[in-house]
Amino acid sequence: MAEPRTIRVGGDQPYDVVVGHHLLGTIPAMLGAAVQRVLVVHPAALATSADTVLEDLRAHGYEAFGAEVPDAEDAKTAEVAAFCWGVLGQAGFTRSDAVVGLGGGATTDLAGFVAATWLRGVQVIQVPTTLLAMVDAAVGGKTAINTAEGKNLVGAFHSPAGVVCDLAALESMERFDFVAGLAEVVKAGFVEDPVILDLVEANVPVLTDPVAASSSDVLLELVERAVAWKARVVAADLREAGPREFLNYGHTFGHAVERVERYRWRHGAAVSVGMVYVAELARLAGRLSDEVVDRHRTVLSALGLPVSYRGDRWEQLLTAMQRDKKTRGSLLRFVVLEGLGKPARLEGPDPALLAAAYAEVAAEPRTGSASRIDL
């Protein structure tokens, strides 16, 4: 088994992302000597792991507290955040203390938001336990909770003090959750690092088995490469004013699918279809070759990810895309490719072009992408 890898995220508040196996014991070193109290935010499903972290923190002299929160998106509410604030207040947390987020992307989003808002900002260590969170949610400093009006509408930019990506945690993931996380890895391959695509194509059997993948050196390299790309982008553009938009490749259409499906689709599955859609859009606009478009379908299909969506939802999808954060007024904006590793922007495409790209990913209304992984 390979040695852990460390990726430095630069910027005003630099921090390290450590990727490897059996790394929970590295958390105290990331906290530093100034911290006295630590709150570990975790879902019920990770109570055993949280107990291990709490025991280790106490053995290192910290006052450690646990806050068990609901699973998945149910954790990202003002009520749950207020519960965490209550724990911090009752335990006397000061500005020199810290929060640890242990869990998937929803948990790390919540923990980061709680840390960002307590006393206007305390230290947070993120310990993502899903592949999606490791390569996406836990790195970059975006924190948020949801409201009745939509996802991630209340949040803050708050860089962590460190991120621990313990690949051993992935062994227990359900296959369809694990494979959905690979969509964000593949995205990094198309937008920045084509070596990722080569590695994925050469290792499909291993990468579609969470047990085999979690202990493999190939997954370690894939996560390292995906995180390294995001680290470079975030260091240059923390608040998404420029090149950080390229991280959203496939997300405009993907987020629309999630909204239309009322978030019953997994994020990675929706982004998978979104990447195929925007690849077709770029091809129709004369900016991307047939070969690269075809590779989108072959790579994603090989992993069991969906590459089509039901063909009777165009008006709903278009309305949802018009609410995308990249939209300016009524001007739709997409991240597209002009070749492997060559991202660009496409602004205000002709409505007929948008509809034509949809026709290229449209499936029968009843079946949609149900033949792929459990969405």
pLDDT tens, residue by residue, 193-249: 999 999 999 999 999 999 999 999 999 999 999 999 999 988 887 676 677 889 999
Annotated catalytic residue 291 = no
Catalytic residue, candidates 68, 73, 221, 240: 240
Residue 323 has pLDDT above 90, yes or no: no
**242 or 269: which leads in pLDDT:** 269
Instruction: Assess whether 295 carries a catalytic annotation.
Output: no
Domains present along the chain, CATH in parentheses: 5-172 (3.40.50.1970), 178-193+238-363 (1.20.1090.10)
Is the entire prediction scored with pTM above 0.85? yes
What residue spans of the chain are helical by DSSP H? 27-31, 47-59, 78-90, 105-117, 131-132, 175-191, 195-202, 204-207, 210-214, 217-236, 251-260, 267-284, 290-303, 314-321, 351-361
Catalytic choice (255, 266, 297, 333): 255
Of the pLDDT bands very low, low, confident and very high (cuts 50, 70, 90), residue 30 is: very high
- 267: nearest Cα among 97, 104, 155: 104
Residue 291 reports pLDDT greater than 50? yes
Which residue is catalytic, options 42, 267, 295, 310?
A: 267
pLDDT at residue 311 above 50?
Answer: yes
Annotated catalytic residue, options 21, 42, 251, 326: 251
Using the predicted structure, report yes or no on whether residue 73 has a pLDDT greater than 50.
Answer: yes
Is residue 148 scored above 90 in pLDDT?
no
Which tokens in the block code for residue 317? 């999808």
pLDDT digits (tens, 9 = 90+) for 338-354: 999 999 999 999 999 99
CA distance linking residue 332 with residue 252, whole number of Å:
9
Least confident of 163-167, 290-294, 364-368: 364-368
Tell me the percentage of the chain whose pLDDT exceeds 90.
Answer: 83
Asked about 240 being catalytic, the answer comes back as: yes
251 catalytic residue (yes or no) = yes
Q: Which of 71-80, 138-147, 328-337 has the lowest mean pLDDT?
A: 328-337
What is the model's pLDDT at position 364?
61
Give 187's pLDDT tier (boundaries 50, 70, 90).
very high
Is 187 tagged catalytic?
Answer: no
- CB distance 346 to 340 below 8 Å: no
pLDDT at 331: 84
Could you give the angle at which helices 217-236 and 195-202 cross, rounded to 10 degrees? 160
Q: Mean pLDDT across the stretch 104-118?
A: 97
Segment 46-72, tens digit of pLDDT: 999 999 999 999 999 999 999 999 998
Predicted confidence (pLDDT) per residue in 276-288, tens digit: 999 999 999 999 9
What's the confidence (pLDDT) of residue 180? 96
Active-site residue (options: 37, 76, 225, 230): 230
Residues in contact with 135: Cβ distance below 8 Å, sequence separation at least 6, in sequence order: 181, 184, 185, 188, 223, 226, 227, 230
- Radius of gyration, CA atoms only, the chain: 20
Catalytic residue among 244, 287, 338, 360: 244
Instruction: Give residue 191's identity as a one-letter amino acid code.
Output: V
Does the pLDDT of residue 299 top 90, yes or no? yes
Nearest Cα to 249, choosing from 296, 299, 303? 296
Half-sphere exposure of 222 (CA within 13 A, CB side): 31
Average pLDDT of span 21-47:
94
76 catalytic residue (yes or no): no
Does the pLDDT at position 371 exceed 50? no
Q: Whole-angstrom distance between the N-terminal and C-terminal Cα of the chain?
A: 32
List 184, 192, 261, 280, catalytic entry? 184
142: annotated active-site residue: yes
Average pLDDT of the chain to the nearest whole number: 92
- As given in the structure block, the two tokens for residue 70 are 């609901």
| 22 noted as active-site residue | no
